[in-house]
Structure 1
């Protein structure tokens, strides 16, 4: 019997999948896109995520908790679904690959500039294979453990209150922004990860408050993002934020202890926990979709094959700017999946119900 996710584990899983390295650049992205006090737009993005989760919750309720693949294949022959499955595998595997490569490149830049970043990624991928083979239930338990390992870092924000100035939060709201549509989508991509909850239907039961749990996890992400970015906008000036690549890393550099240097390197290392969960959830999702294409291949073979393929693909974008450019493209595709897949499933459920009723 497959063990089911509890409501708490599901909430933590959603939060840990969403929250990631993008927080280091998020204040700068908000400043350039929306201008002064750009942090006020984060709750609006959080509401958009909740609206999307309402669609996912509707699929869960109307489909009686069945797998999305079972829902699709009930109405559409599997051979016709192969292009969709291949698309999902490619996007999810590449997102996992690129998020991991982005993390190791930044880590190399700030801590080990002479070390090959692919060595770091190789070690990370070994952990990813182990987690994937353990299954979603154990991934969720690891997410809870990693959550307690890393959530304490929010307390570091108290170190910045002494330099926080409300005068830096000018009376102007959203002035000086130069963002376009791609920039708006790029900020929404910071919230991605919640949509993978659509693959957890069959791992829950009646005791799991699916919709409520996913919304709670996403709300926690929104609160953390808003709080951290609010402090960043009050710590740095608008002009400084526009010039910084990773404002939160620069913020961490202001913390000083007499017994340790370069404390931001240590703090960044703790973000490995959230990155691992984000990456493993995308690769696990790719594996779930790939199993519908090649059902005869065992999971113990498929999981390492997907991770190995992602590792090979990570060699192609060599610089951080190339990784970010690739991430922009695949994040845009994932936004389409996040919005479009629940709608497709609702359409299929509606048609099958209509057909079953004979109308």
Structure 2
């Protein structure tokens, strides 16, 4: 029986669901703080940077003729160099997924479950992630596609804010006021991180140009979602209000009132669990792929279990939401370096090998 392959549509949704998450709750404030008036427009530039990075990854796919990154690395580098790299990436990706989960459950506890210990909710999320990851990447992609259809209707909520949207709040000024383009730009760009995991999907897709196009389309979907939400926030709130709000999107959700449901914002925030689980599952799966390469005889289910348990204890370290934010910031910086550095290293290896053969 032929091995199942990921369809481009599934890859597109996989990319989108991995990128998006609870970061959108604070993204309008980050843009206002770091890019000033009409900071939402900066997202167009970050979309281009992410698209450039995806193009670099596509060169790895093209030059390597669809080979996995493990084949490319292991044909050129000895194990004593590869295993530290694999261990570093496994720890980075597992920790990133872990802290993303801790961030979501901490906000959820603050909003709805103030009497419940945050790590108990985190444990429940981890159990859900475990049973998703052990099913393999094909079933993960199908589950994430289902999650997408479950949450896609939420964009219709933006129609509630059209009546109170004022163009005058946008002002004719762009990127003026107190700005922090470099450090702030790096922080905002981490909201796009997640697409780089497509570099591990090479063996699981059909050898076609449609694969990398699907990743680009997924990135564009994320960019469109971020831009639309932030544009609405900049026109719904004043600039000073945006800078003072910790989670402008959460306050935006509380604006929705329905006669038959009380506290609609709590219900709507619960739907962010789907995108959060998608992000966590992909990072844990990526970590599992790295560990599996170092210990190929160990069963996948056991590797996933050990990773989940290990990062669960790591999640105890950051105790407050500001501490979790700092962890996410530094992990995002590191992940950005990997997103650009790893494909460039792979391209260099492929070019050196090609020249050596010639």
| Category of TM-score, reference length = shorter chain | over 0.9
Report the RMSD for the aligned CA atoms in angstroms: 1.0
1:272-330 CA-to-partner distances (Å, cap 9, x unmatched) read: 00000100101110111111222221112101110111111111111111111111111
1:157 is displaced (CA, Å) by: 0.3
TM-score of the aligned structures, taking structure 1 as reference length: 0.98
Report matched runs for 1:37-56 at 5 Å.
37-56=38-57
What is the alpha-carbon distance in structure 2 between the residues aligned to residue 204 and residue 253 of structure 1? 41
- Structure 2 length as normaliser, TM-score? 0.98
Match of 2:256 in 1: 255
Distance (whole Å) between structure 1 residues aligned to residue 38 and residue 185 of structure 2? 15
Indicate conservation of the 8 Å contact 2:129/2:281, yes or no.
yes
- 8 A contact 1:7–1:208 mirrored in 2: no
Query: Could you list the runs of 4 or more consecutive aligned residues of structure 1 that deviate by over 6 angstroms after TM superposition?
Result: none
Seen in structure 2, the aligned counterparts of structure 1 residues 252 and 16 have a Cα distance that, compared at 3 Å, is same
Distance 1:208 1:305 in 2: 36
Q: Is the 8 A contact 2:35 2:181 kept in 1?
A: no
- Could you tell me how far 1:178 is from its partner in structure 2? 3.0
Which residue of 1 is the match for residue 182 of structure 2? Answer: 181
Q: Which residue of 1 aligns with 2:235?
A: 234
Question: Is 1:301 aligned to residue 291 of structure 2?
Answer: no
Instruction: Extract unaligned runs of 5+ from structure 1.
Output: none
Cα offset for 1:206? 2.8
Residue 66 of structure 2: aligned partner: 65
Residue in 2 aligned with 1:152?
A: 153
Is the 2:25–2:248 Cα contact (8 Å) retained in structure 1?
A: yes
8 Å CA contact 2:101, 2:280 repeated in 1: yes
> What residue in structure 2 maps to residue 138 of structure 1?
139
Distance between the aligned counterparts of 1:138 and 1:355, measured in 2?
Answer: 40
Residue 107 of structure 1 corresponds to 108
Q: How many residues align?
A: 357
> Which position in structure 2 is the counterpart of 1:198?
199
Give the aligned partner of residue 336 of structure 1.
Answer: 337
Which position in structure 1 is the counterpart of 2:311? Answer: 310
The aligned residue for residue 76 of structure 2 is 75
Task: Name stretches of at least 5 consecutive residues in structure 2 with no aligned partner.
Answer: none
Matches of 1:238 and 1:176, distance apart in 2 = 10
Counterpart in 1 of 2:5? Answer: 4
CA distance in 2, matches of 1:58, 1:180: 29
